[in-house]
Chain A
Amino acid sequence: MKSLIDSGTAATVENPVAGIDQTKGDFTYDVAYEFDAGTGLSARTVDYISSVKKEADWIRAFRHQALQVFQSKPMPTHWATRDLENIDFDRIRYYLASGQKPKRTWDEVPEDIKRTFERLGIPEQERKFLAGVEAQFDSEAAYSNIKEIVAKQGVIFVNSTEGLREHPELFRRWFGKVIPTGDNKFSALNSAVFSGGSFIYVPPGVKVAQPLQAYFRINAENFGQFERTLIIADEGSEVTYMEGCTAPKFSTATLHSAVVELVALKGAKIQYITVQNWANNVFNLVTKRGLAHEEAEIKWIDCNIGSRLTMKYPGVVLKGRKARGEVISIALANDGQHQDTGAKMIHAADETTSNVVSKSISVGQGRATYRGQVHIPKRLRGCKNNTECDALLINTNSRTDTYPAITVRGERNSVQHEASVSKVSEDMIFYMQQRGLTEGQAMSLAVNGFINDLARQFPMEYSVELKRLIDLEMEGSVG
């Protein structure tokens, strides 16, 4: 419906902020890549990446070992969709970069890359409400900057390559500890070829008032983006991180497979917000997990729009007493899309609490699946979980499935699970039309109402963007 492939001249970059919509990301500019690992995956690909990044021996060995795990692990086809079999790992390009060191000012960012982010409105947002920004273009960050006032507090916000190079001890201590290489086939793939992503450290007691933001942009066709993010919030600190993602609409499939690890030490709070709007040929297979120590709190706010297939189940391992974990997720599956999302809450200490609220919307032949895992072992006491999943079906051929897996042993813990499926009724639409709204506007309003209580938890700028994305998705859903 909205295929706006832009050959790209500076003149087309107009009002990037107003252009927040579904087609916003659907453009591409020609970029000269200095580094290219070629097509296909082998030990040589891994060596190329490691050499280009001038990595230490331990990380090179880590990558090679991960590659072996990836190659030996089967696809998770016994429970997952068979669409995974359509990923052709030999056709993907695993590393593409224009440079090795991100720029600290937008003026230094090469013109051909800068105009992409300007069109996406990133520099504007940075000025308005962010404490720091990292902008990743294919494999590497093109820009990374943190406001001086935040840096002075000792906060580290760099990309993973810099994190490895400049803060090796801190990095190595937690890297791969929350999500081991062999967690699943795609975490192994990421461990072998990862590049980019953020490394964040917040010192004890520091509360970062404004969010840190990363923007992940895929520009090249047949490309695989494998960013690796590690966030460590030291004792009593607080940080909010937001990520946005887009890619142009290519005729071939693109792979995005990230690994995100969060560590919240005693009493720390991490809030991780995702608003992804991938083009609908992207396989988005992401592993996200946090480790919450005593009285720490980890909250994932996850909003999935777009992509061909998303498989993502953010989790929290509640390791310390009174730790809290939360997953708030919104997924919208349109025609040809499958949003397979959910949450994992692993209780591993007394008096830990977790909360999962998931809302999905299936439009046309879109399919939304919720998979939830809650684990509370017998030896624990005073643990609580609350899970709510609500699905909204827009058309009669829309589909939703819920697979909750709740294991609670012992009698000293409490669990609550609620699920609902609703349909936008014809009477409701007629009622709204009678007030002058078109059928499409009525649908949009009904969907925005459905997710309203969750959308309110987003920062203002993101909830506005979310509303507009939904309006655009719903436009074509009627008739």
Chain B
Amino acid sequence: MSSLVIHDLHVSIGDKPIVKGLSLTVNSGEVHAIMGPNGTGKSTLAKVIAGHPDYTVTGGDVLLDGRSVLEQEADERARAGLFLAFQYPSEIPGVSIANFLRAAVQARLPEGEEIDASAYYKRLYAKMDLLKIDRKFTSRSVNEGFSGGEKKRCEILQMAMLEPKMAVMDETDSGLDIDALRIVSEGVNALRGPGLGVLMITHYQRLLSYIVPDFVHVMYDGRIVKSGDKSLALELETRGYDWVKQELAALPA
């Protein structure tokens, strides 16, 4: 049983505060969705959890299984079980998906231990079958010349192979047409289970009809302002974010 605990987190880029006191707990087996209008700090939150060097944490903490990750480099956090599915995954020219994942799996082995190549490929092909990904896919260079849908499938495949404890999915639905969205969502649903906690960040409700969350949070101006179950997402769909803003404005300061 794992947990990702975000406690009163404050984050700035330069002098500008972006995240202003955000708290949230994700346990294994749970799928949480964070929704909110653009510019409210959702993607910043994703990158900070993963350890992007451009952001400064000015207060609060992020804990994986009770241990603060803030002093850890991005790669240490990854090896500890944190995975970020990127909104805009980078291209790595000349490095095949199979070789990239092999290096990532190798990086998780104890020093001096070599990866068992045949066992690795067996596992890779099993995951590809599970996600209905063509065998030829993994000989292509990582994300190079990929369509939006292919990039996101590549992220899901990496997630399947690296078997994280906690996955943060940043705008996984962005840039996808309805068919691609269905395929990617089926992939995520196939990976759902008691060993994985998911934090999904999305602008639109439509993703949540494919990946049904256990909890929905609304983020606004660097904070979570409302939490509920999946019905909250539907309410947002019909009433829009203005409804949340008005509700906030009505509260006594």
- Please give the residue numbers on chain A whose beta carbons come within 8 Å of chain B beta carbons, in ascending order: 425-428, 430-439, 441-442, 445-446, 448-453
Q: Which residues of B contact A448 (CB under 8 A)?
A: 94-95
Query: A416 to B159, alpha carbons, bound, how many Å?
Result: 42
The count of residues in chain B whose C-beta lies closer than 8 Å to any C-beta of chain A is: 28
Q: Which residues of A contact B162 (CB under 8 A)?
A: 435-436
Q: Given A445-B103, A449-B141, are A435 and B92 neighbors across the interface (CB < 8 Å)?
A: no
- Sample 24 A-B pairs with CB under 8 A, ordered by A number: A425-B90, A427-B90, A430-B52, A430-B74, A431-B86, A432-B90, A432-B92, A433-B75, A434-B75, A434-B84, A434-B86, A435-B158, A436-B78, A436-B104, A437-B103, A438-B107, A441-B103, A446-B92, A448-B94, A449-B92, A449-B93, A449-B94, A449-B95, A452-B94
Q: Which residues of B contact A445 (CB under 8 A)?
A: 92, 95, 100, 103
Residues 150-191 of B contacting A (Cβ, < 8 Å): 158, 162
In the complex, the chain B residue whose C-beta lies closest to that of A442 is B75
A433 and B73 within 8 A (CB)? yes
Given contacts A438-B73, A446-B92, A449-B94, 19 further A-B contacts (CB under 8 A): A427-B90, A428-B90, A430-B52, A434-B74, A434-B84, A435-B107, A436-B78, A436-B79, A436-B104, A436-B107, A436-B108, A441-B107, A445-B103, A446-B95, A448-B94, A449-B92, A449-B95, A452-B94, A452-B95
Is residue B50 within 8 Å, beta carbon to beta carbon, of the partner chain?
Answer: yes
In the complex, what's the smallest C-beta–C-beta distance from B238 to chain A, in angstroms?
A: 36
Is residue B129 within 8 Å, beta carbon to beta carbon, of the partner chain?
Answer: no
A433 and B78 within 8 A (CB)? yes
In the complex, what's the smallest C-beta–C-beta distance from A109 to chain B, in angstroms?
A: 34
In the complex, the chain B residue whose C-beta lies closest to that of A426 is B53
Q: Which residues of B contact A425 (CB under 8 A)?
A: 90
- Please give the residue numbers on chain B whose beta carbons come within 8 Å of chain A beta carbons, in ascending order: 50-53, 73-75, 78-79, 83-84, 86, 89-95, 100-101, 103-104, 107-108, 141, 158, 162
Q: Which residues of B contact A442 (CB under 8 A)?
A: 75
Q: Which residues of A contact B75 (CB under 8 A)?
A: 433-439, 442
B95 and A430 within 8 A (CB)? no
Q: Which residues of B contact A427 (CB under 8 A)?
A: 90
A interface, by DSSP: helix, strand, loop or mixed? helix
In the complex, what's the smallest C-beta–C-beta distance from B91 to chain A, in angstroms?
A: 7
Query: A453 to B144, alpha carbons, bound, how many Å?
Result: 14
In the complex, what's the smallest C-beta–C-beta distance from B126 to chain A, in angstroms?
A: 19
In the complex, the chain A residue whose C-beta lies closest to that of B168 is A434
Query: A438 to B52, alpha carbons, bound, how many Å?
Result: 14
Query: A467 to B100, alpha carbons, bound, how many Å?
Result: 14
Query: A428 to B95, alpha carbons, bound, how many Å?
Result: 12
Query: A298 to B92, alpha carbons, bound, how many Å?
Result: 32
Query: A450 to B144, alpha carbons, bound, how many Å?
Result: 12
Query: A143 to B75, alpha carbons, bound, how many Å?
Result: 48
Q: Which residues of B contact A436 (CB under 8 A)?
A: 75, 78-79, 104, 107-108, 162
Q: Which residues of A contact B83 (CB under 8 A)?
A: 434
Q: Given A441-B107, A445-B100, are A434 and B78 neighbors across the interface (CB < 8 Å)?
A: yes
B95 and A435 within 8 A (CB)? no
Query: A427 to B162, alpha carbons, bound, how many Å?
Result: 20
A431 and B94 within 8 A (CB)? no
State which of B79, B94, B104, B107 has its C-beta within 8 Å of the C-beta of A450. B94
Q: Which residues of A contact B53 (CB under 8 A)?
A: 426, 430
In the complex, what's the smallest C-beta–C-beta distance from B43 to chain A, in angstroms?
A: 13
State which of A431, A437, A439, A452 has its C-beta within 8 Å of the C-beta of B90. A431
Q: Which residues of B contact A430 (CB under 8 A)?
A: 52-53, 74, 90
Query: A441 to B100, alpha carbons, bound, how many Å?
Result: 11
A435 and B100 within 8 A (CB)? yes
Among A425, A439, A449, max chain B CB count under 10 A is at A449
In the complex, what's the smallest C-beta–C-beta distance from B116 to chain A, in angstroms?
A: 18
B90 and A451 within 8 A (CB)? no
Q: Which residues of A contact B90 (CB under 8 A)?
A: 425, 427-428, 430-432
A450 and B93 within 8 A (CB)? yes
In the complex, what's the smallest C-beta–C-beta distance from A203 to chain B, in angstroms?
A: 40
In the complex, what's the smallest C-beta–C-beta distance from A20 to chain B, in angstroms?
A: 16
Q: Which residues of A contact B91 (CB under 8 A)?
A: 428
Query: A453 to B104, alpha carbons, bound, how many Å?
Result: 21
Q: Which residues of B contact A439 (CB under 8 A)?
A: 73, 75
Query: A426 to B50, alpha carbons, bound, how many Å?
Result: 14
Query: A451 to B94, alpha carbons, bound, how many Å?
Result: 7
Among B51, B74, B79, B95, max chain A CB count under 10 A is at B74
In the complex, what's the smallest C-beta–C-beta distance from B219 to chain A, in angstroms?
A: 22
Closest A-B pairs by Cβ, 7 of them: A449-B94, A452-B94, A449-B95, A431-B90, A433-B74, A436-B78, A435-B104
